[in-house]
Chain A
Amino acid sequence: MLSQIPLSYFLVVSTLMFFIGIYGFLTRKNLITILMAIELILNSVNINFVAFNRYLYPDQLQGHFFSLFIIAVAAAEAAVAIAIIISVYRQYFNIDVERVDTMKY
Chain B
Amino acid sequence: MDFLTLFVVVPVLTIVGIIFTKDMKQTRMVSAIGMSIQLLLSVALVFMYLAERRAGNTSEMLFAHSYIWFESLNISYNIGVDGISVAMIMLTGVVIFTGIFASWTVEYLSREFFISLIFLSTGVFGFFISIDLFTMFLFYEIAVIPMYLLIGIWGTGPKEYSAMKLTLMLMGGSALLLVGLLGIYFNSNAGGGDLTFDILEIAKVNIPIEAQRLFFPMTFIGFGVLGALFPFHTWSPDGHASAPTAVSMLHAGVLMKLGGYGAFRVAMFLMPEAAHEMAWFFLILTGISVVYGAFGAIFQKDLKYINAYSSVSHCGLVLFAILMMNQTALNGAILQMISHGLMTALFFALIGMLYGRTHTRMIDQMGGLMKVMPVLSVSYVIAGLASLGLPGLSGFVAEMTIFFGAFQHPDTFHRILTITAAASIVITAVYILRVVGQILYGPIKDESYKKFDDARWYERLSTGALIVAIAGIGLAPLWLSDMINESLNPIVDQLVQVIIK
Do any CB atoms of chain A lie under 8 A from CB atoms of chain B in the complex? no
